[in-house]
A and B are shown apart, each in its own frame.
Chain A
Amino acid sequence: MAYTKRFDGRKFDEMREIRTEVGVIPNADGSAMFSFGDTIAIAAVYGPKPLHPQHLQNPQKGIIRCVYDMLSFSVTQRKKPGPSRRSQEISKVTEWALSPIIEIDEFPNTVVDVHIMITQANASTRCAGINAACMALAQAGIPMSEMVSAVSIGKVDDKIVVDLIKEEEDYEDGEGATDMPMAFLSRSGKISLLQLDGKTSPEKLKEAIEAGEKACIRIHEEQVKALKKIKEEN
């Protein structure tokens, strides 16, 4: 059976409903929620603040530190609380995805802490996390050269699909499923996150990157809209 119709009836290039909210954690210097359909990520930013332990400080510039994790009950099979190899890797790639946009050279010896928590998961959690984190950084007033938006592009059987869901990730017929999370910067159009799991021809991979670029432009608009809204309210 070829994959001709998506499980949830979306068009192949259609994202799930995007929901955003800025300022979800009043204690934080900046915070935001970003959701693709059933996937919900919240992010909180604290800093720039003096970095402890001191030996981690960089006297030439501030640094960014990310922690990504999932609530134990955010997935169908309970996730053991605490960091796993997976969550440590995602924390690191998230940090790398955000690094090119933040300009904290003027804040030596400090750290900007970004905490991302997935409260409900249905694929694309790292992308939702990055999108929320970028909004939280903006709300915190961290100097940024541009914004970043992330999306997961899938190849399900031989179809390129935008913003795939768990069912599509687990698709096993035909060519199976390939998951390609990626992040694009809003001004330069550069790519700050790219991962791939699965099986794809080089040509389809390029096609997926093009589709990701388009989707990220849309996501960026949503992020900006949410930030403008909170600005007007205050």
Chain B
Amino acid sequence: MEVSNLTKKRIIDYMKEGKRFDNRELLEYRDIKIELGVSKNAEGSARVKLGDTEVIAGVKLEIGEPYTDHPDAGTLITTVEFLPLSSERFEPGPPRIDAIETARIVDRGVRESGFIDFEKLCVKKGEKVWTIFLDIYSLNDAGNLIDAACLAAVCALKDAVFPKYNEKEERIEYGEFTTKKLPLTDATPITMTFHKIDDTLLLDPAREEEDASEARLSIAVSKNKEARVNAIQKGEGTAFDKKEIFRIIDNAVKKSSEIGGIIDDSVKAREKAKKA
């Protein structure tokens, strides 16, 4: 809410003509740049840029105990930190509600889509399972950290391989990797956050647009043959019309294929680089 009223008014005036400060269409993302394998000691990692917004995500694997209600399923713990280095708005200390909410949106999309086959992460039923630590950090906040975090999370998971596990001594040989990938399915969750500014919907807001946003709706869509909605979160204190929500649903399904294609390309680029 740090945008001046003057800037907000200008943003609205532009929107009314279907225009944005950086000449994008209302439902057009900034340039999406994805790089996999950006941190050597992580089991998987990715850096995602949406224009000037940048986040980095890493996957670490540990052996832990399963939850009592799912004794044969691995576990996932998602954390998001908005680093003070990425914006003067963020302060040191434990995650605040904005970071907590973002982590929960990322987590829900990944979990509910069935993207991870948790049962294949079981080592010994009731005793030992793999725990996936999915940690995401903001590096530069130029708006839309939620979508950037979700993208980075999915890409880091796609990049991840198991570390070597010494079965005799029952410990992980950290730093040594196998070539075995995480058990993932084709249901890649794509989370898109639609913002509402004065009855106009837009995607991927720049910082000042996000400040002017009255409400947002994050929606995670996965496509395994057919499109499925896996998670929704409405944010901020303005309400949506039913019509607007229906429009968001339709557009999210369309847009998810586009973003899915970009993810596939970066995974392929990483595979090629590994072989070379």
Contact = CB atoms under 8 A, between A and B. Distances in A.
Contact of A202 (B215, B217, B249): B249
A97 to B, nearest CB: 8
Interface size bracket, A side: 20 to 34
A199 B228 contact: yes
A143 interface: no
A201 B245 contact: no
Interface in B51-73: none
A191 interface: yes
Greatest chain B CB density within 10 A among A192, A199, A206 is at: A199
Interface in B220-247: 226-242, 245-246
A24 interface: no
Contacts of B246: 206, 209
Given A194-B245, A201-B228, 14 more contacts: A89-B101, A98-B237, A189-B242, A190-B241, A191-B234, A191-B239, A191-B245, A194-B240, A195-B233, A196-B230, A197-B231, A199-B112, A200-B228, A200-B229
Nearest to B228: A199
Contacts of A95: 237
B160 to A, nearest CB: 23
A194 B236 CA distance: 11
Interface in A88-113: 88-89, 92-93, 95-96, 98-100
A98 B236 CA distance: 10
Given A96-B237, A202-B249, A196 B231 contact: yes
Contact of B229 (A86, A88, A201, A213): A201
B230 A198 contact: yes
Interface string B88-115: 0000000001001101100010001110
Contacts of A206: 246, 249
Nearest to A206: B246
B120 to A, nearest CB: 17
B253 interface: yes
Contacts of B104: 85-86, 89
A55 B213 CA distance: 23
Interface in B192-234: 215, 217, 219, 226-234
When A and B form their complex, which 9 residue pairs have the shortest distance between CB atoms, in order from nearest? A99-B237, A190-B239, A196-B232, A192-B239, A194-B234, A100-B239, A96-B237, A191-B240, A202-B249
A100 B232 contact: no
B227 A202 contact: yes
B250 interface: yes
Contact of A92 (B97, B112, B215, B245): B97
B71 to A, nearest CB: 15
Given A85-B103, A205-B229, A197 B234 contact: no
A192 B227 CA distance: 25
B101 A92 contact: yes
A201 B239 contact: no
A193 B217 CA distance: 10
A201 B228 CA distance: 5
Contact of A88 (B97, B245, B249): B97
A197 B227 CA distance: 15
Nearest to B232: A196
Contacts of A89: 97, 100-101, 104
B242 A213 contact: yes
Contacts of B253: 202
Contacts of B238: 99-100, 192
